[in-house]
Homo-oligomer: A and B are copies of this chain.
Amino acid sequence: MKKLINDPADVVSQALLGMEVAHGDRLRVDHEHKVVFRKDAPRSGKVGLVSGGGSGHEPMHGGYVGLGMLDAACCGEVFTSPVPDQMLAATTGVDGGAGVLHIVKNYTGDVMNFEMAAELAADGDVQVRSVVVDDDVAVQDSLYTAGRRGVGTTVLLEKLVGAAAESGRSLDEVTELATRINGVGRSMGLALTSCTVPAAGKPTFELGDDEMELGIGIHGEPGRKRVPMTSAAEAAQLLVDPILTDLPYGTGDSVIAMVNGMGGTPLIELYIMYGEVQRLLEKAGITVARCLVGNYITSLEMAGCSVTLVKADDELVGLWDAPVNTPGLRWGV
């Protein structure tokens, strides 16, 4: 295992130290609970947004804390759900009296622990709602989930719902919006290589030199199938086709599109993939209203990429364009 770390046991806590000194102007870190807070949280009268999950997917979620996005992110160990105590600390820490929305990726541990934290917070008189993101069309149930996994749509949802919360919408309105976005968001990914969890010290899985894993999860959990290594054009088709038929998306639709790198794929390849994805969408009569190309929800150093589409109307595009100021996504402020 070749990694720029000190002790595998300290990876998350030391990365949080680094985040804190790098972004201390905008963020503060509760090191006891491993929670990244927006510096000015809680904001009185604003709905608080809390997300979190296993670490190793950076910039998600800690990198999405800040104006126009999350108020707090709970950081579990690498690829491991945070515990309810962390989520409770985050929830009470961001409640400004208008309630708190939990944005939860659909993994059994995350869902259970966020539910428990919500009950505990409700006992303390914090109004808590929850949205569970389950956008991965690859598999119906998986190693770590009942139902579909929550992946790329989470990033876009955090941006969009973050803008809505910033603009003063109520907990009911923000929850409805989040549920609606999850309903029109779909993702699918593939991997060219495995990744190594520091505490494990060896690759999560093995993949032949001529193979790729189609429908990979963000923890290296198995996808739909192994397929022979192929071109960018064919890879794009393998990702886009199952997404388009699932919702379904169709002629005349407008989308926010993300071509996301898994961590180890260079940006030059992601741009090639984006060109191919855009071509396929155009062929299907779908307009890309806005897009992201880069590493936004990663799996450590895994090579590969995923495609996410969120069907967008004028309201969502307006929320997309609103200012955001986080380490991972920043514009207009």
Residues of A within 8 A of B (CB): 2-6, 11-12, 14-19, 21-22, 55-56, 58-59, 63, 78, 192-193, 209, 212, 229, 231-233, 235, 263-276, 278, 288, 291, 293, 295, 298, 300-301, 303-305, 325, 327, 330-333
Question: Nearest CB to that of A263 among chain B residues?
Answer: B266
Residues in B whose Cβ lies below 8 Å from that of A276: 18
CB distance from A78 to the nearest CB of B (A): 8
In the bound complex, residues from chain B placing their C-beta under 8 Å from that of A266 are 56, 58, 263-264, 298, 300-301
Copies in the complex: 2
| Known contacts A2-B209, A58-B266, A266-B300; A271 and B18 CB within 8 A of each other | yes
Chain B residues whose C-beta falls within 8 Å of the C-beta of A17 in the assembled complex: 275
**Residue contact B63 to A6, C-beta cutoff 8 Å:** no
Task: Given A293-B22, A331-B331, A331-B333, check contact A58 B267 (CB 8 Å).
Answer: yes
> Which residue in B18, B331, B332 is a CB contact (below 8 Å) of A293?
B18
Given A18-B293, A303-B301, A331-B330, verify A271-B5 contact (CB < 8 Å): no
Q: Kindly list chain B residues whose C-beta atoms are within 8 Å of the C-beta of A18.
A: 270-276, 278, 293
Q: How far is the CA of A239 from the CA of B262 in the complex (A)?
A: 27
A277 to chain B, nearest CB (A): 9
Does B6 lie within 8 Å of A231, measured CB to CB?
yes
Chain B contacts of A212 at CB under 8 A? 2
22 of the cross-chain contacts (CB-CB < 8 Å) are A2-B192, A2-B209, A3-B192, A3-B269, A5-B231, A6-B233, A11-B268, A14-B232, A14-B275, A15-B275, A18-B293, A19-B271, A21-B278, A59-B267, A263-B264, A263-B267, A266-B298, A295-B295, A330-B330, A330-B331, A331-B331, A332-B333
| CB-based nearest B residue for A265 | B4
A267 touches B293 (CB 8 A): no
Residues of B within 8 A of A15 (CB): 268-269, 271-272, 275
CA distance A252 to B278 in the complex (A): 51
Assess the A2–B332 pair: CB atoms within 8 A: no
